[in-house]
Every structure is written in structure tokens, then in C-alpha cells.
Amino acid sequence: MANSRLSVAIHILSLIASKPYEQITSDSIAESVNTNPVVIRRMCGLLKKGGILTSRAGISGAILLKSPADISLLDIYLAVQSKSEWFALHDHPNHDCPIGCKIYPTLEKTFSTIQKSMEKELTQITLLDVMEEMDLYSKI
């Protein structure tokens, strides 16, 4: 099953950015994402730790700490996804097997190349780019 944290985080941030003067609750975000508000609060916590969102005690809703133009998809990805989960290698291959003894170094090199390429691409796309693609930002 694919991990959907990045898409959910972009969805959350797009909602918040598209309504900068509204206090958007986790319940209303959850309704848009079609998930439980607990999932949204957990994701917002990760985005806060990642330096993308902030909130004030006693006031519902969250605020972007940067402009959508200054938030790359890599920033969002790193906030909600551990780098170690990107391309995990399986545990304990059989080192007596001709494949098992070579799979780790081979895949580490391959996965490293893929990861660097993916990071480069994610750096070049911003939250604003995504919002413009959805035709949202022009309506703010």
C-alpha cells in the first residue's frame, strides 16, 4: 500500500493557504480530505515540527509560517516522512546466496541515486505551483 502522507499534507496546506483569513478546524480539513480529524491533527503536528505551520493555544486553525511560494514539496515531504522510509531495504538477506550477499550494496547505490533525483525534483516544485495547478491561488 502506498504511503499517502505527502498528498494529505499538501491537501492540508493547500486548504490553509487558500483561506488565509479563516480559522480552518481539523474537522473541516478532515471532511475535505475524507479522513478522521485525529489524522489531520497528527499531520498538522508533524508540519509544525517541520517548521511549516504554527498555531496558537486556545484558537482553532493553523497558519503557514512561509508563503506557499517558499514551501517546496521537499520541505513538506521531509516534515511528514522519515528519509529512512523512502527506499527501505529488507532485513537479513541470506548472505550465503549469490544474490543475497550483493543485494544491499547494489540497492543502496541505486536507491541513493533515485533519492537524490527525487529530492531535486521535489525542491523545484512549491506549494504555490500545486495551488496554481488547482487554480486555487488566483482566488485568494
Domain of 122, in residue numbers: 5-139
- Report the C-alpha gap between 57 and 79 in whole angstroms: 21
Question: Total structural domains in the chain?
Answer: 1
Rounded (10°) CA dihedral 95, 100, 106, 107: -120
At 60 the pLDDT is: 73
The domain spanning residue 82 has which CATH number? Answer: 1.10.10.10
Q: Give 63's strand partners.
A: 54
Does residue 125 surpass a pLDDT of 90? yes
Alpha-carbon distance 127 to 84, whole Å?
24
Asked if residue 100 lies in contact with residue 94, where contact means CB atoms within 8 angstroms, the answer is yes
pLDDT at residue 113 is higher than 80: yes
| pLDDT score, position 61 | 79
pLDDT tens digits for range 29-39: 999 999 999 99
